[in-house]
A and B are shown apart, each in its own frame.
Chain A
Amino acid sequence: MDQTYACLDGNEAAARIAYAVSEVISIYPITPASPMAEHCDDWAAARRPNLWGKVPDVVEMQSEAGAAGAMHGALQKGALATTFTASQGLLLMVPNMFKICGELTPAVIHVAARTVATHALSIFGDHSDVMHARTTGWAILAAGSVQEAHDFALVAHAATLRARVPFLHFFDGFRTSHEINRIALLEDDDIRALVRDPDVLAFRSRGMTPDAPVVRGTAQNPDVFFQAREASNPFHQAVPGIVQQVMDELAARTGRAYGLVDYHGAADADRVIVAMGSATGAIEETVDRLVSEGERVGMLRIRLFQPFPAGQIIAALPATVRAIAVLDRTKEPGAIGEPLYLEMVACLAEAMDQADPPFVTTPRVIGGRYGLSSKELTPAMIKPIFAELAADRPKRHFTVGIYDDVTHLSLPIDASFRSVRPAGEVQAVFLGLGSDGTVGANKASVKIIGESTGLYAQGYFVYDSKKSGSITVSHLRFGPEPIRSTYLIDGADFVACHQFGLLGKTKVLDYARRGATVLINAPYPADEIWDHLPVSVRRELLEKEIDLWAIDALAVAGEAGMGGRINTVMQPCFFQLAGILPADEAIRQIKGFVEKTYAKRGDAIVQRNFAAIDRSLERLVHVSLAGRTIDEAGVEIPARAEPDFVTRFTRRLLAGDGDLLPVSALPADGTFPSGTAQYEKRGIAQMLPIWDPTICIDCGKCAMVCPHATIRMKVFPAAAVEDAPAGFLHKEFRSHDLADHRLTIQVAPDDCTGCGVCVDVCPAKSKTDSSHKAINMEPVAEHRDIERPRWDFFQSIPMLDRSLVNHATVKGSQMLEPLFEFSGACAGCGETPYLRLVSQLFGDRMIIANATGCSSIYGGNLPTTPWTVNASGRGPAWNNSLFEDNAEFGLGMRLALDAQTDQARQLLGRLAPQLGPDLVSGLLESSQATEVEIELQRGRVAELRDALGRIEGPAAADANHLLALAGDLVRKGVWIIGGDGWAYDIGFGGVDQVLSSGRNVNILVLDTEVYSNTGGQASKSTPRGAVAKFAAAGKGTAKKDLGAIARSYGNVFVAQIAMGANDQQTTTALLEADAWPGPSLVIAYSTCIAHGIDMTKSMAHQKDAVRSGYWPLYRFHPSEVESGKPFKLDSATPSIPIAAFVANETRFAVLQRTHPERAAELAVLAQADADERWRYYEQLSGIERTVPHVHRPDPAILPEVESDAGYRYDESGEPV
């Protein structure tokens, strides 16, 4: 049979089939499943029809629960529907899954199986999501490779229609979902043959219609529910037979034969491993090697997990088997064992309890956990399992792949054991930076080789958790046989390091086998390269007898006009050195690929890539290591003092040695210390902002807009710099209140990302050279060593007493210490400046509930966190729960805080006799409206703690309780932070509930107008006319006015801010939100990479957003005054048209070029939106509105206290 081959990843392989057989696709994005939905959306946008000639309707919902509900509705109406999800997303679908299965409705959900969040969130792969969902009764098919993901997608869609039992089709997140492999494609005729018309028509005939109405979803009583539940038994019992039938039909058409289970290994095996998913690839390789060495081992691969194919399993196991190890890729604490283990135990027990048992003695079964969150499973880890099975008393329960020194469950790893690599296979590893195009080039190489040479090809890509300066590692294999190695490469034949700076900073040569070829991108002539290599790298080169090659790729790329994108320079070198294709043919293929990929971008891009390709090979040089020796000692960099946790834990992760950490090194409850990002010192900036004090006007805007807190302003007494190192810059600080003070603007050279936003906003220019500002971007090589000691000294200068600073101004706010620093956010991120500012204003007294999204990733992705502490050890307490529950999570914190404060106050009252009336009344009556007051209260609490320690006798119990609660007598703020995906969509129900509660919480929405973290899917915050995923032809509907909904309550403080347009209003609004003793909602315009702008100009874009009326600035102050007008517009009447703003953003500009007529229509509507909103808001500013309240005592009788933000409180702390 003729097969068409293509190189796809698991997501695309599954999506192709799902798209072909669906009419309605309701989705919600979640890693690592989002690409399935995105492919479908792209195909629908390109009007690709399904099998029946209809273009499926792809609809993004507000959450996975919504996607499941919509899918359920579509199915009940008789439309073929599907969806794609993972992890928590699948969990949110579970209630609907019970219903769909109970109603015997055919359906398929494709899952890129991912870890369910427990002590931490993980985007990586394991089976905890699908195993949780098994109780719904859905059939579960496990694909273990990209080919199987493609084939089983069809099996699932075909079988469900025949069986009327819905199917979960899953494959391992990342390991299969994102692995590119060469597969044989199913043709439309294959799909048509298996998804049979009679089954489709029968399904349609059961759809809801008023023409023949029925009622479903009834409520039932104890008399009949049980019987009705049992009535579906025959359907579930028939599933295994139906699945095998479909698989046999597939085999007849394609030659690829699958069983519900498959045995691989020695026919007389006495030890067998049972597993499902991608691990079976690695286990199969291990079995092959061991069998070739005479061992009697085998593997049973489970493909249909549910209904559990007990009969087929017993039939497949060799009669000689004595011991079975079952591997589960999930953890269920409290259960005797994990699901597959328990099923196997029950299966064997039942089989042996028959008249004719299949084995002489019941095989011993042991259960192991592996691979949680994409932890590797390699032959070195699998071999010891077989050894354990041979032991007299093997561990009943064990783990593999880790070292467990706490409960001692782990098996050892045999690091010397590897599977036998097939003859002719090449393994290649490439290291690059995210911005250099390495991964894209490698994906192209896999496709070129897999689709034009007849060789099999595999590509798997590892990224780190940073959004800028991210290191990428590409693992590529090519060979004459199908590639089953479902683990990372160890012992590569070829290693390429595409960024010279990575050598010595991260593992590079570790990937190389002895005698490997190594290619480095080096900005030096061949004979000078050795001198620039770190000693550790030199050592490895010699010890491993590496064949070293080099190219100055940046120079070649620069000459070709490619900037920093060196991919098409490095790619021909790889082909030349790896010898997979002759160089001429490789170049021809690379150019063909470039043309195919970039022709639609225009000829300039194609030509520049061609220029890079043409110049590449002539600049490739061999670097001779002949005669080189290692006799220099490495330069010891003195270690800085750092906390013990950082040395033992954080540093190991930063060095890439996390896998080596034992279980005991990890906190059991997921609690980590703050302030670890300062130890990273990533040094990724190519340019640094360098200060010229002679031009600076002390405005503080540079520090205000810095996303990473890497350019800071500090004011200090002149005496503080008496011992400053030579060259430390400072200038006079002009102030009425602070005499003889100096000011410094200082960059943190190893933490700065070089985004350039600070320079872009600096308003101070030289009078003689207008291109020279008070800060200017300069090359890092010329300045890093100068700025390092300056930064060290700058940090040693004590912070100014906060009570001497006016927090409510831009300059004043920037004199405060940031407690959010050095995050891994994108360079120029629009969200992080707000967080940095909030940490400066309130950091030492805030508790944060942070939604999942960009802010939870740059805020809390290991190895480090940017949230930190001040010199007193205080700082934001930060927590991420889930995506959908963040507002409620934060409300819970406020409820707890209030409950504990109340209890503390009660205890104070009870202990007054022991504590004394002055201390007690001071603690109870302090308004804490200002920071000064809060600091005084802290002093009283310290005094309280002392006094409580001295209390004995019957009051001691109360004293102990009060000691535990004393801290809550100090006012704290609860901040509920997240992006628009959370606030407008999945978490909106919770946001609304919290706003309605009247409780004192501050909700900060970092509004990027799109799902930034998962790659730019549209949200209800996406504006009309913007292009986003699931809005490829421009979003047709207007942006939701979240502020309006919040304002409807009347007692919620609402503000809309944009730092780049008005940093003063931003500061004021945040202070007012904190001071408002009720719910506050602040919506912060956040520029984002998904807007397609030059991120250096982030803040300038915000100015245009406001000037055009696209983003009005306002504050809504609930007022108890009869004639109060709570709505205050803070931005001026729009002075430029919307068109002028959107022309500079690719998310709008691209639509004008792809769909010009639609863009023109939406542009008219977008301008009308802005005009109408302005007209409405202008009217609102004149409207009187009062918050219903109880009449207050005459303020003339009670003195008032003024708060930091201008609020007035009466003495009991109530607002006036």
Chain B
Amino acid sequence: MSVDLGTRYLGLSLRSPIVASAAPHNDDPVVAGRLQRAGAGAIVLPSLFEEEIVAEELEIARSLEQGTEHFAEALDYFPAIGQFLGAAERYLGAVEQVKARSTVPVIGSLNATSRGAWVRYAHLIQDAGADALELNLYRVAADPGR
């Protein structure tokens, strides 16, 4: 006798109520495939943190500019570095790849911090193919200024 475990969540039809929640390797298509074969009803990707995006941009900029225009023989230390895939681009690429290989819903997860960023990244994650979005909203019950 088989039991129908199907349910609905976020307007999505899930074959099972067991959902793989956000975890570090869920954005690896191989891992996502295994979760699927194991019966997960949906897969939540690890969170995209706005702090991670900003920290990476700042660190790469800092290290590429470190020591520049300082010493006449070495005005810079790296060849011209063009556009690169930042944390956000890599995340969106992972969304696309996992989605392309999935038959279960793929849910993005977002942890933004600044005004405008929530909406901007939510759109991008949606456009990359995510079926739904987990928003990590939080409020710290303390005054950061004190």
B70 interfacial by beta-carbon distance below 8 Å: yes
Q: B70 contacts A470, CB within 8 Å?
A: yes
On whether A1153 and B72 interact (CB within 8 A), knowing A42-B79, A467-B67, A598-B61, the answer reads no
- Cβ of A498: which chain B residues have Cβ within 8 Å of it? none
- Cβ of A1014: which chain B residues have Cβ within 8 Å of it? 73-74
B78 interfacial by beta-carbon distance below 8 Å: yes
A38 interfacial by beta-carbon distance below 8 Å: yes
**Measured between alpha carbons, how far is A1029 from B76 in the docked complex, in Å?**
10
Q: B69 contacts A439, CB within 8 Å?
A: yes
- Cβ of B68: which chain A residues have Cβ within 8 Å of it? 434, 440
Minimal Cβ-Cβ distance residue in B for A123:
B73
A641 interfacial by beta-carbon distance below 8 Å: no
Stretch at the interface among B35-43, B82-90, B122-130: B82-90
Which residue of A857, A1015, A1154 contacts B81 across the interface (Cβ within 8 Å)? Answer: A1154
Q: Tell me the residues in window 417-445 of chain A with beta carbons closer than 8 Å to chain B beta carbons.
A: 434-435, 437-440
- Cβ of A1094: which chain B residues have Cβ within 8 Å of it? 63
Residue-by-residue, is B16-43 near A (CB-CB < 8 Å gives 1, otherwise 0)? 0000000000000000000000000000
Q: Tell me the residues in window 32-87 of chain A with beta carbons closer than 8 Å to chain B beta carbons.
A: 32, 34-35, 38, 41-42, 45-46
Residue-by-residue, is A1173-1199 near B (CB-CB < 8 Å gives 1, otherwise 0)? 000000000000000000000000000
Minimal Cβ-Cβ distance residue in B for A1090:
B77
Q: B70 contacts A38, CB within 8 Å?
A: no
Most chain A beta-carbon contacts within 10 A, residue among B71, B80, B83, B86: B71
Q: B84 contacts A1154, CB within 8 Å?
A: yes
B135 interfacial by beta-carbon distance below 8 Å: no
Give the distance to chain B from A114, nearest Cβ to Cβ, in Å.
11
Which residue of B53, B54, B70, B90 contacts A435 across the interface (Cβ within 8 Å)? Answer: B70
Q: A174 contacts B72, CB within 8 Å?
A: yes
A1089 interfacial by beta-carbon distance below 8 Å: yes
Q: B78 contacts A1027, CB within 8 Å?
A: yes
- Cβ of B57: which chain A residues have Cβ within 8 Å of it? 601-605
A949 interfacial by beta-carbon distance below 8 Å: no
On whether A434 and B69 interact (CB within 8 A), knowing A602-B61, A1146-B60, the answer reads yes
Q: A45 contacts B53, CB within 8 Å?
A: no
Q: B53 contacts A1089, CB within 8 Å?
A: no
B66 interfacial by beta-carbon distance below 8 Å: yes
Minimal Cβ-Cβ distance residue in A for B83:
A600
B64 interfacial by beta-carbon distance below 8 Å: yes
- Cβ of B71: which chain A residues have Cβ within 8 Å of it? 434, 463, 465-467, 470
Chain A: how many interface residues by the 8 Å CB criterion? 60
- Cβ of B66: which chain A residues have Cβ within 8 Å of it? 1089, 1092, 1095
A1093 interfacial by beta-carbon distance below 8 Å: yes
B119 interfacial by beta-carbon distance below 8 Å: no
Number of A-B contacts (CB under 8 A): 137
**Measured between alpha carbons, how far is A1027 from B78 in the docked complex, in Å?**
7
Give the distance to chain A from B127, nearest Cβ to Cβ, in Å.
17
- Cβ of A600: which chain B residues have Cβ within 8 Å of it? 81-84
On whether A604 and B54 interact (CB within 8 A), knowing A434-B69, A1015-B73, the answer reads yes
A1075 interfacial by beta-carbon distance below 8 Å: no
On whether A1013 and B58 interact (CB within 8 A), knowing A45-B79, A1146-B63, A1156-B85, the answer reads no
Which residue of B69, B76, B78 contacts A1150 across the interface (Cβ within 8 Å)? Answer: B78
Minimal Cβ-Cβ distance residue in B for A603:
B57
A1032 interfacial by beta-carbon distance below 8 Å: yes
B12 interfacial by beta-carbon distance below 8 Å: no
Give the distance to chain B from A783, nearest Cβ to Cβ, in Å.
26
Give the distance to chain A from B119, nearest Cβ to Cβ, in Å.
14
Residue-by-residue, is A1009-1024 near B (CB-CB < 8 Å gives 1, otherwise 0)? 0001111100000000
Q: Tell me the residues in window 44-64 of chain B with beta carbons closer than 8 Å to chain A beta carbons.
A: 53-54, 56-61, 63-64
Q: B63 contacts A1027, CB within 8 Å?
A: no
Which residue of A38, A45, A1089 contacts B67 across the interface (Cβ within 8 Å)? Answer: A1089
Residue-by-residue, is B73-117 near A (CB-CB < 8 Å gives 1, otherwise 0)? 111111111111110001000000000000000000000000000
Q: Which bucket holds chain B's interface residue count?
A: 20 to 34
**Measured between alpha carbons, how far is A234 from B114 in the docked complex, in Å?**
75
Q: B81 contacts A1150, CB within 8 Å?
A: yes
**Measured between alpha carbons, how far is A463 from B68 in the docked complex, in Å?**
11
Q: A1016 contacts B61, CB within 8 Å?
A: no
- Cβ of B59: which chain A residues have Cβ within 8 Å of it? 1146
Q: Tell me the residues in window 1134-1157 of chain A with beta carbons closer than 8 Å to chain B beta carbons.
A: 1146-1147, 1149-1150, 1153-1154, 1156
**Measured between alpha carbons, how far is A31 from B72 in the docked complex, in Å?**
8
Give the distance to chain B from A559, nearest Cβ to Cβ, in Å.
15
A330 interfacial by beta-carbon distance below 8 Å: no
**Measured between alpha carbons, how far is A1094 from B65 in the docked complex, in Å?**
12
**Measured between alpha carbons, how far is A465 from B70 in the docked complex, in Å?**
9
- Cβ of B72: which chain A residues have Cβ within 8 Å of it? 31-32, 123, 174, 178, 463, 465
Give the distance to chain A from B90, nearest Cβ to Cβ, in Å.
8
- Cβ of A605: which chain B residues have Cβ within 8 Å of it? 57-58, 61
Q: Tell me the residues in window 978-1028 of chain A with beta carbons closer than 8 Å to chain B beta carbons.
A: 1012-1016, 1027-1028
Minimal Cβ-Cβ distance residue in B for A472:
B69
Minimal Cβ-Cβ distance residue in A for B80:
A42
Q: B69 contacts A1092, CB within 8 Å?
A: no
**Measured between alpha carbons, how far is A174 from B70 in the docked complex, in Å?**
15
Q: B74 contacts A1016, CB within 8 Å?
A: yes
Give the distance to chain B from A1006, nearest Cβ to Cβ, in Å.
16
Q: Tell me the residues in window 1091-1122 of chain A with beta carbons closer than 8 Å to chain B beta carbons.
A: 1092-1095
**Measured between alpha carbons, how far is A45 from B81 in the docked complex, in Å?**
10
A239 interfacial by beta-carbon distance below 8 Å: no
**Measured between alpha carbons, how far is A605 from B56 in the docked complex, in Å?**
11
Give the distance to chain B from A447, nearest Cβ to Cβ, in Å.
15
**Measured between alpha carbons, how far is A826 from B72 in the docked complex, in Å?**
14
- Cβ of A470: which chain B residues have Cβ within 8 Å of it? 70-71
- Cβ of B75: which chain A residues have Cβ within 8 Å of it? 35, 1015
Give the distance to chain B from A25, nearest Cβ to Cβ, in Å.
15
Give the distance to chain A from B125, nearest Cβ to Cβ, in Å.
16
Which residue of B54, B70, B80 contacts A434 across the interface (Cβ within 8 Å)? Answer: B70
- Cβ of B81: which chain A residues have Cβ within 8 Å of it? 600, 1027, 1150, 1154
Q: Tell me the residues in window 592-624 of chain A with beta carbons closer than 8 Å to chain B beta carbons.
A: 598, 600-605
**Measured between alpha carbons, how far is A1004 from B43 in the docked complex, in Å?**
56
Q: B60 contacts A45, CB within 8 Å?
A: no
- Cβ of B63: which chain A residues have Cβ within 8 Å of it? 1092-1094, 1146
Minimal Cβ-Cβ distance residue in A for B68:
A440
Q: A1092 contacts B78, CB within 8 Å?
A: yes
Q: A1153 contacts B86, CB within 8 Å?
A: yes
**Measured between alpha carbons, how far is A1150 from B61 in the docked complex, in Å?**
11
Give the distance to chain A from B54, nearest Cβ to Cβ, in Å.
4
**Measured between alpha carbons, how far is A1027 from B81 in the docked complex, in Å?**
10
Given contacts A463-B69, A600-B83, 14 further A-B contacts (CB under 8 A): A46-B80, A46-B82, A463-B70, A467-B67, A472-B69, A600-B82, A602-B61, A604-B53, A1012-B74, A1013-B74, A1015-B77, A1016-B79, A1153-B84, A1154-B81
Name the 9 nearest CB pairs between A and B, nearest first: A434-B70, A602-B57, A1015-B74, A1153-B84, A1092-B63, A439-B69, A1016-B77, A1032-B79, A1146-B63
A-B contact pairs, 14 of them (CB 8 A): A35-B75, A46-B80, A435-B67, A440-B69, A470-B71, A472-B70, A602-B60, A602-B61, A605-B58, A1015-B73, A1027-B79, A1090-B77, A1092-B64, A1150-B60
Residues of B within 8 A of A (CB): 53-54, 56-61, 63-86, 90
